[in-house]
Structure 1
Amino acid sequence: MTFNLDLDPATTAGPALSEEAFVATLPKQLYIDGAWTDSSDGGTSDVEDPSTGALLARIADATPEDGLRALDAAARVQSSWAATPPRQRGEILRRAFEIVTARADDFALVMTLEMGKPLAESRGEVAYGAEFLRWFSEEAVRISGRYSMAPDGNSRLLVSKRPVGPCLFITPWNFPLAMATRKIAPAIAAGCTMVLKPANLTPLTALLITQVFEEAGLPAGVLNVIPTSRPGEVTGPLIRDPRLRKLSFTGSTGVGRQLIADSAHQVLRTSMELGGNAPFLVFEDADLDAAVDGAMVAKLRNMGEACTAANRFIVHESIAAEFSQRLARRMAGLLLGRGSAEGTNIGPLIDAKSRAKVEDLVQDAVDGGAKILTGGVAAAGDGYFYPPTVLVDVPESARILQEEVFGPVAPVISFRTEGEAIALANDTEFGLVAYGYTNNLNRGLRLSEQVDVGMFGLNTGIVSNPAAPFGGVKQSGLGREGGAEGIEEYLETRYIGIADPS
């Protein structure tokens, strides 16, 4: 494992601006009712560079009063926005897609600076996040209903769709562009207004995409953005407000459970994309090269800080040792360092708390008898770096097999039979995604049917796609984002009974 902390901004921020000068150009205020504004008490919060632990920017810190002002704006324009022609809503999304695509380098750099991921990964997120804008620009004009005769012939049935109404979005820090666009885009397409509370660790990307929507012609009040360091104080009153009709949250299962409980009083529509504990199954007939390639993607995307990250590697006993050695060699060859430095493969974790959790889970496994093939010791120096790590001989009691590690650690366990592999895969309260490698198509289909998840990757280490429904079962959440299903989360069904016209 090598380490890269090239901090020369001239090598990373393009020919015109240093990183510091670039950050100075970014919006840092709240966005309420079509205007950029300071918080009502003038307060600010700090955004940290996880590569160094140093201050990156100061942004406006929303108060509960600011939250209510944002909901006031969203509620005020809901009716007029819902009446906007679908084509017009779609064209706004299409313009936003084109602007994001044109400014891809800006979005990539801001994500790398505030979240830490390498620029290559940030560019991938820009393409992925922008695609939700294009996808839902096309779905806006495909909202449909139906007209039919009742079975008894005595009346006609008219079924239509209408927007749910004002929404509250709470997004995480790990994919600051994509997690925003895959909520905002279907809401715009459906005719809903919204209040967005981005993660306080990575708010700059959300503010930049807000600027894009403003440029694309989104009317005042439709999108309101309120970063805050006191999320419960700000969002609590909104969730209890009868004008709010929808809550969409991406984050931990623990917080999701509390938000579901809080939403019960107003019987809010909820979408919850929560935690994961993804199994990565490798059978004896798998293409081992392809399986290792897939493992690298499934484990190390976003430094493992993804709900879709492979958390448990369940490998047939006949190939477990070879798979583990190959994976360890690949991981050991990666360059760990500042995300904006040339050649970096793995950036820092998001903060000290996250790194401490990874260290604790690895130490717990080692204390129980696990062996480290590579990594396993946090990098010295500034920033929150942790090296890619492979663990073998992991005991069944190890917490890392039950808890979402959210870091670049791959614990490997083995199995003998297909039934045992499926039982191990399902031995978790979570059910977001699973991966399976086998050259036996029948086995692959059995796995896709018997592993209890919302998404399954067969011979692939990545499943996320804006054209596909994203979401899980069990305690991994409720609802789906993306695909044709994604817009339904923002639509209510209305039935009208019509007397027999004859």
Structure 2
Amino acid sequence: MGSGLLVGGEWQDTADRIEVWNPATGEVLSTVADASADEALAAVGAAYDAFPAWAGTAPRERAEILRRAYELMTAEAETGARLIALENGKAWRDAVGEVSYAAEFFRWFSEEACRIAGDFRYAPGRDKTIVVDHRPMGVAYLITPWNFPAAMATRKLAPALAAGCTTVLKPAAETPLTALWVADLLHRAGAPAGVVNVVTTARAGEVSTAVLADPRVATLSFTGSTPVGKILLAQTAKRVLPSSMELGGNAPFLVLEGADVSRAVAGAMVAKLRNGGSACTAANRFYVHESLVEAFTERFQAALAAVRVGPGIDPATDLGAMVSVKERDKILALVDQAEAEGAEAVEVGAAPPGGAFVAPRVVRNVEHGSVLTRTEIFGPVAPIVSVTDEAEAIRMANDTEYGLISYVYARDHGAGIRVARQLESGMVAVNRGVASDPAAPFGGMKESGLGREGGFAGIHEFLETQYLAVDL
């Protein structure tokens, strides 16, 4: 694995370098290449040149490469987890879980590569035969965030390669080492030169503007914040460039009358603390029926108090560092704003001195519409709002511009599904604290994104549909 750019199958250095920090210690882990716009366009050129041969490769061959990548990632899981824990800060168990989740995208799309379905039928007037085919779009520009540096890379690379696209991956500057490892796995699995290119850069805006303006780029897949997504969509609109967007979230966690409080607390621990709360799928605001709010809050607070905060590389750690001191300070500033609004933030447990650590907090007396219910917290802070009935919980849950995921705890699955169908979100976890699965469509409604990743839909984000009218 190199520390430069991966362009056309070769590791290339740059004049400038990016320092990669360990957020738990504040120490520099390594440095990686810092690409300019011109260097990024060289990667686009390599992908463009490699596209015709890769698009013409048999689906089975592409599938076998992805399968080998899955096997390599599984065999080297500890290496990947170590990179993630060190550069991202997350707890070891979360890092190991991420590698497992990331590898599953290689396995799932290795299977989907050979199952791209078309259509063949008579037109209703029987004057022609309708043939519908799918073909790879071309060069795919993939932008991934820092919170899941392995899984967000494989969730884009795997379907793009399975579809027959070539790729330019731009990982977040905070967590480039994991992305370089993933690319190296694909290289060793047999991906031909130019099929997978990686551009690490601290000049994301400059680089992405140049790449998206290049006519050789055929599609964009972006995971990140909604404000940045809107900027990128404005740029892609100039070329009518197909784009899939997995953007921000503001996930409500509903605990309805009659729900099992113990199960709801167990689910809340997963939904809130997975990845330290730094997930677009993290439960962001808790709407709890007034008959259960005191019991739920007390048990949730007790569970959070048992969480061990420390360096992610330590297997005994439950909650690691945030990705940076800047991210830590942003979370703490939100807590300060909430307290200024009259909420009561209770810090449970203790964060180690130094580093980008945040101790878990339960926030009581929160009003719907206050700062913590409007803002994606991205950390281990749980604001709790008391609701009087199901209708109020649904109204408050939907009162946001976001619609990625929701969580519902009800007395039974039937009641949960009934409420879930009234929620304006692309995914709903019913009586469970996690929903993500490579075999399921991942994506949101409203300002949480466009398109879907994973599942049967994921590969189609990288395919053009072509209709042939044929006299037969």
Give CA-to-partner distance per residue, 1:306-350, whole Å, 9 cap, x none. 000000000000110110111111101111000112411110111
Counterpart in the other structure of 2:416: 444
Deviates more, 1:99-108 or 1:393-402: 393-402
Counterpart in the other structure of 1:425: 397
How far apart in 2 are the matches of 1:262 and 1:134?
33
How far apart in 2 are the matches of 1:398 and 1:451?
20
The answer (yes or no) to whether the contact 1:365–1:395 under 8 Å persists in 2 is no
Counterpart in the other structure of 2:126: 153
The answer (yes or no) to whether the contact 1:82–1:191 under 8 Å persists in 2 is yes
In the TM superposition, 1:93-172 aligns within 5 A as 93-172=66-145
The answer (yes or no) to whether the contact 1:391–1:410 under 8 Å persists in 2 is yes
How far apart in 2 are the matches of 1:341 and 1:165?
42
Question: How far apart are 1:27 and its partner, in Å?
Answer: 2.5
Aligned pair partner of 2:275 in 279, 286, 302: 302
Aligned pair partner of 1:453 in 399, 416, 425: 425
The answer (yes or no) to whether the contact 1:364–1:398 under 8 Å persists in 2 is no
Partner amino acid for 2:443? G
Counterpart in the other structure of 1:11: none
Counterpart in the other structure of 1:34: 9
Counterpart in the other structure of 1:290: 263
Counterpart in the other structure of 2:407: 435
The answer (yes or no) to whether the contact 2:362–2:382 under 8 Å persists in 1 is yes
TM-score (norm 1): 0.93
The answer (yes or no) to whether the contact 1:435–1:456 under 8 Å persists in 2 is yes
Deviates more, 1:422-431 or 1:443-452: 443-452
Unaligned stretches of 5+ residues in structure 2: none
How far apart in 2 are the matches of 1:446 and 1:220?
50
Counterpart in the other structure of 1:272: 245
The answer (yes or no) to whether the contact 2:93–2:315 under 8 Å persists in 1 is no
Q: Helix, strand or coil: the match of 1:462?
A: coil
The answer (yes or no) to whether the contact 2:309–2:351 under 8 Å persists in 1 is no
How far apart in 2 are the matches of 1:441 and 1:249?
34
Question: How far apart are 1:169 and its partner, in Å?
Answer: 0.5
Find out whether 1:352 has 2:290 as its counterpart.
no
- Percentage of pairs with the same residue: 50
Question: How far apart are 1:80 and its partner, in Å?
Answer: 1.1
Question: How far apart are 1:63 and its partner, in Å?
Answer: 1.0
How far apart in 1 are the matches of 2:305 and 2:129?
67
Aligned pair partner of 1:416 in 388, 395, 420: 388
The answer (yes or no) to whether the contact 2:287–2:384 under 8 Å persists in 1 is yes
Change (3 A) 1:397 1:154: closer
Question: How far apart are 1:398 and its partner, in Å?
Answer: 2.2
Count of residues in Structure 1 that have an aligned counterpart in Structure 2: 472
Give CA-to-partner distance per residue, 1:283-307, whole Å, 9 cap, x none. 1211111100000000001110000
Moved over 6 A (4+): none
Q: Helix, strand or coil: the match of 1:259?
A: helix
Partner amino acid for 1:108? A
Question: How far apart are 1:374 and its partner, in Å?
Answer: 3.1
Counterpart in the other structure of 1:496: 468
Q: Helix, strand or coil: the match of 2:117?
A: coil
Question: How far apart are 1:381 and its partner, in Å?
Answer: 2.6
Question: How far apart are 1:443 and its partner, in Å?
Answer: 2.1
Question: How far apart are 1:375 and its partner, in Å?
Answer: 3.5
In the TM superposition, 1:71-470 aligns within 5 A as 71-375=44-348, 379=351, 381-470=353-442
Counterpart in the other structure of 1:478: 450
Question: How far apart are 1:120 and its partner, in Å?
Answer: 1.1
Question: How far apart are 1:83 and its partner, in Å?
Answer: 0.4
The answer (yes or no) to whether the contact 1:112–1:339 under 8 Å persists in 2 is yes
Give CA-to-partner distance per residue, 1:20-72, whole Å, 9 cap, x none. xxxxxx53111000001112xx1101000000111111111111111110000
Question: How far apart are 1:380 and its partner, in Å?
Answer: 6.0
Give CA-to-partner distance per residue, 1:240-266, whole Å, 9 cap, x none. 111111001000000000000000011
How far apart in 1 are the matches of 2:393 and 2:367?
16
Q: Helix, strand or coil: the match of 1:335?
A: coil
The answer (yes or no) to whether the contact 2:168–2:198 under 8 Å persists in 1 is yes
The answer (yes or no) to whether the contact 1:27–1:204 under 8 Å persists in 2 is no
CA RMSD, 1 decimal: 1.1
Question: How far apart are 1:78 and its partner, in Å?
Answer: 1.0
Counterpart in the other structure of 1:14: none
Question: How far apart are 1:397 and its partner, in Å?
Answer: 4.4
How far apart in 1 are the matches of 2:319 and 2:122?
60
Q: Helix, strand or coil: the match of 1:128?
A: helix
Question: How far apart are 1:412 and its partner, in Å?
Answer: 0.3
Counterpart in the other structure of 1:15: none
How far apart in 2 are the matches of 1:180 and 1:483?
16
Deviates more, 1:58-67 or 1:455-464: 58-67
Give CA-to-partner distance per residue, 1:98-141, whole Å, 9 cap, x none. 00000011001010000011111111111100000000000000
How far apart in 2 are the matches of 1:284 and 1:265?
50
Q: Helix, strand or coil: the match of 1:143?
A: coil
Partner amino acid for 1:259? L
Partner amino acid for 1:473? M
The answer (yes or no) to whether the contact 2:288–2:387 under 8 Å persists in 1 is yes
The answer (yes or no) to whether the contact 2:413–2:430 under 8 Å persists in 1 is no
How far apart in 2 are the matches of 1:169 and 1:427?
31
How far apart in 1 are the matches of 2:110 and 2:328?
39
How far apart in 1 are the matches of 2:166 and 2:43?
10
Give CA-to-partner distance per residue, 1:357-383, whole Å, 9 cap, x none. 11111111111211123349x846321
Question: How far apart are 1:490 and its partner, in Å?
Answer: 0.7
How far apart in 2 are the matches of 1:66 and 1:196?
13
